Amino acid sequence: MSKYDSLNAMQQEAVFHTEGPVLILAGAGSGKTRVLTHRIAYLIEEKGVNPWNIMAITFTNKAAQEMRERVDQIVGFGSESIWVSTFHSSCVRMLRRYIDRLGYDNNFTIYDTDDQKTVIKEICKRLNIDTKQFKERTLMAAISSAKDELVSPAEYKLQASTASGYGAQTIARVYEAYQKQLRQNNALDFDDLIVKTVELFQSCPDVLDYYQERFRYIMVDEYQDTNTAQFKFVSLLAEKYQNLCVVGDDDQSIYKFRGANIGNILGYEKVFPQAKVIKLEQNYRSTQNILNAANEVIKNNEGRKDKTLWTANEEGSPIHFRQFQNGYEEAEYIAGAISQKVREGIYDYKDCAILYRTNAQSRLFEEKFLIANIPYKIVGGVNFYARKEIKDLLAYMKTIDNAKDDVAVKRIINVPKRGIGAATLGKVQDYADAYGISFYQALRQADEIPTLGRGSAKVRPFVEFIQKFRSQIEYLSVKELLEKLIEETGYVDELKAEDTDEAKARIENIDELISKAASYEDDAEDPSLSGFLEEVALIADIDSVEDSDNRVLLMTLHSAKGLEFPNVYLAGMEDGIFPSYMTIVGDDPQDMEEERRLCYVGITRAMKELTLSAAQQRMIRGETQYNKVSRFIREIPRELVELGREPKARTITKMPEPSSSYARMRQTYQKTSFSPKQFEVKKSQGLSYGVGDTVRHIKFGTGTVQAIVDGGKDYEVTVDFDKVGTKKMFASFAKLKKITE
């Protein structure tokens, strides 16, 4: 039996049609990754295409890694030559080789959002722009949008000259100064990675020709999320051989705010008139009831390509809908429902996910989960690489790698404190500006700055420190360099001296960074400091989700794309929350269509059970709002929805039905989740540990007993845990075990 026989008819057509432009409209859960990997195998095994002539591009490192593993598995020998990576990683590899053609050094730095904000703030100060009127993030968003559309600073300035109002002209001034500063710092932001690669292709025909010959077959995943610059990048690459296969779902285009242009997928046949269009509509993930609900919601959009998801899976449970009086009761119900399902062995914690429209909605769930001892993880919280101690050490490494990076140099010149004051730094900057050199170069010439005086003596040790490390790059591994940096700066020693819980957590983070450096060196073909910094810069939030973590995941609907869970809760389904108030009162129907696509994405994350919840009143920015049930729920036919009680298939003892819907839900919650029998207290007959002993808790790990109080019915034990801080608990519930030395 051929490996292709396991594909359905439409999947086979997508695999076997290899020549010319192809548009694969892949509905949610329709096996598009499987199609892409089999297509690559078919090209190599049946069509005789060289592995190094194939390129597969996706958006996240997680998706690229998954595709890489599956390609290696199905293709076998030679698969390592296939270029499987994200847009940004692909462009970085090309720019590392050829960006000197555009006047940059090849060891450029990649700026994250915080670095960009620092540069913008300095520029606003220099140009006397009021950041209360023009916020840094607003300016950054405007510049990013311009880059997404391949609008250069000069073109933006020209457009602004004819625009009414002062805003566009101010943005044009900042954009021009920002790009000039980045160039001087030998740095690129994320948008530049794409823009500069397009610029490289357009200005260097020989470079473009090299990559066109190299990549004769190009496949792009999640095509609905591409912006104008990304489309230009792939269309230039595919211009010579036209073998561009794009896979996507216009119904899942939800990143307009990041510059995604849904017109790229809706208008694909206009750009490539000979394109073959193939629809994948069979879903392998969800029950038919969940798909019916998704189909009914999304069909209300006009700007879409017609397709209907179906499955050979069972019909499944109806969609559950619960409406509560407020957000607290909503969170309480969901916490209780998850506890019950885990207790009954129906699901593990990791099988459950709570999705919501805005990050602010997570707070109530966190509070309820802490009370109910439900392990959870918020996706898209503070990124590991955005923490202060990590950014400080990375700034040292960036300075050693690329001393032109003014942002990195200024961040660590007084870390640890070296007594270099703001006045001294200002004089160095003035000198750098006057002579058109980098800030670090000016520091190296501190003795020649006449206004600096005795300040130059404080600057000199810092420069010598950096120069010493720069001279050792070729002799030290990345891990050795990082460990030596930590030792000689005394960074960890200072944290140890603080001796606080926060300081201990920071030391743990630094240890994790060392582990990251070690694993990078194990995995990289040709490890280098530049390569390590590049890999760190390209890591996305969602890539940190570990499949092995047995926790409930809490995340926004945008973060949930690409994931799937047996049991999903879509919370806050009210007009004004989802869809948002601004979308409802706005005059652009496309915004409402994007919100509906976001709802479609949320519904199709569910595999077996989907619960939609709403509150009659909700506290927003300190004020109580009264909202109607979301129009998206009203778009789901009544026969697909079960209101307020468990489906008949569930083997749970039925209770007398209370009069009101909410009272019924409240009573069900109290009985099933916290029955008196469940929490019957049996006092421990003496404890095997005492105050000062080290103990282990099955969930919280190790800690030290701080106090024991005899409460009559049970002992109340206070433990200071290493990872989660101080907790009070009853001995009979805690089941603490003493750790003997």
Mean pLDDT, rounded, of the chain: 87
Using the CB atoms, write b or e for 103-113: b if 16+ within 10 Å: ebeebbbbbbe
pLDDT recorded at residue 502 = 78
Please tell me which residue, 549 or 602, carries the higher pLDDT value: 602
Q: What is the mean pLDDT of residues 200-218?
A: 97
Residue 42 tokens, joined? 């078919």
Residue 688 tokens, joined? 């095997």
Report how far residue 542's alpha carbon sits from residue 55's, in angstroms, rounded to the nearest whole number.
23
pLDDT recorded at residue 386 = 76
Q: What is the mean pLDDT of residues 452-463?
A: 87
pLDDT recorded at residue 450 = 85
Please tell me which residue, 740 or 433, carries the higher pLDDT value: 433
pLDDT recorded at residue 673 = 35
User: pLDDT tens, 265-291?
Assistant: 999 999 999 999 999 999 999 999 999
Residue 712: band (very low, low, confident or very high) from pLDDT cuts 50, 70, 90: low
Let me know: does 64 contact 58? Beta carbons within 8 Å.
yes
Whether residue 685 is predicted with pLDDT greater than 80 in this model: the reply is no
pLDDT recorded at residue 621 = 59
pLDDT recorded at residue 211 = 97
pLDDT recorded at residue 174 = 96
Please report where in the chains the tokens 């179906």 appear, as a residue: 310
Please tell me which residue, 626 or 381, carries the higher pLDDT value: 626
Please tell me which residue, 670 or 306, carries the higher pLDDT value: 306
pLDDT recorded at residue 684 = 54
Find, among 261, 247, 248, 242, the residue nearest to 219 by Cα.
247
β pairing state of 725-730 and 276-280: unpaired
Find, among 314, 277, 356, the residue nearest to 26 by Cα.
277
User: pLDDT tens, 486-513?
Assistant: 999 999 988 888 777 778 878 888 988 8
Please tell me which residue, 66 or 682, carries the higher pLDDT value: 66
pLDDT recorded at residue 654 = 35
Whether residue 138 is predicted with pLDDT greater than 90 in this model: the reply is no
User: pLDDT tens, 87-98?
Assistant: 999 999 999 999
User: pLDDT tens, 632-654?
Assistant: 999 999 999 998 743 333 333 33
Residue 3 tokens, joined? 């490996």
Task: Give, in order, the Cα–Cα distances in Å from 372 to each of 375, 673, 718.
Answer: 9, 10, 18
Whether residue 463 is predicted with pLDDT greater than 70 in this model: the reply is yes
- 324 φ, ψ to 5°? -120, 170
Please tell me which residue, 244 or 435, carries the higher pLDDT value: 244
Please report where in the chains the tokens 């500069």 appear, as a residue: 196
Residue 457: band (very low, low, confident or very high) from pLDDT cuts 50, 70, 90: confident
pLDDT recorded at residue 547 = 58
pTM value?
Answer: 0.74
- Among all residues, which ones are annotated catalytic? 32-33, 221-222, 252, 605
Whether residue 444 is predicted with pLDDT greater than 70 in this model: the reply is yes
Please tell me which residue, 438 or 666, carries the higher pLDDT value: 438
Report how far residue 157's alpha carbon sits from residue 164's, in angstroms, rounded to the nearest whole number.
13
Is the dihedral angle over the CA atoms 10, 14, 20, 22 positive or is it negative? positive
Where is 194: in which H helix or E strand?
helix 190-203
pLDDT recorded at residue 269 = 92
Please tell me which residue, 567 or 3, carries the higher pLDDT value: 567
SS3 607: strand
pLDDT recorded at residue 686 = 73
Binding residues, as ranges, are: 26-33
Whether residue 563 is predicted with pLDDT greater than 80 in this model: the reply is yes
Q: What is the mean pLDDT of residues 675-704?
A: 69
Let me know: does 289 contact 633? Beta carbons within 8 Å.
no
User: pLDDT tens, 24-69?
Assistant: 999 999 999 899 999 999 999 999 999 999 999 988 888 888 888 8
Binding residues for ATP, as ranges, are: 26-33
Residue 731: band (very low, low, confident or very high) from pLDDT cuts 50, 70, 90: confident
Report how far residue 368's alpha carbon sits from residue 378's, in angstroms, rounded to the nearest whole number.
14
* pLDDT > 90: percent of the chain: 59
Report how far residue 304's alpha carbon sits from residue 560's, in angstroms, rounded to the nearest whole number.
21
CA 662 to chain centroid, in Å, comes to: 36
Q: Which strands sit side by side in the sheet containing 737-738, from one edge to the other?
A: 725-730, 715-721, 701-710, 694-697, 737-738
* pLDDT > 70: percent of the chain: 91
pLDDT recorded at residue 418 = 84
| Angle, helix 136-148 to helix 113-126, in steps of 10 degrees | 110
Cis bond before residue 153 (omega within 30° of 0): no
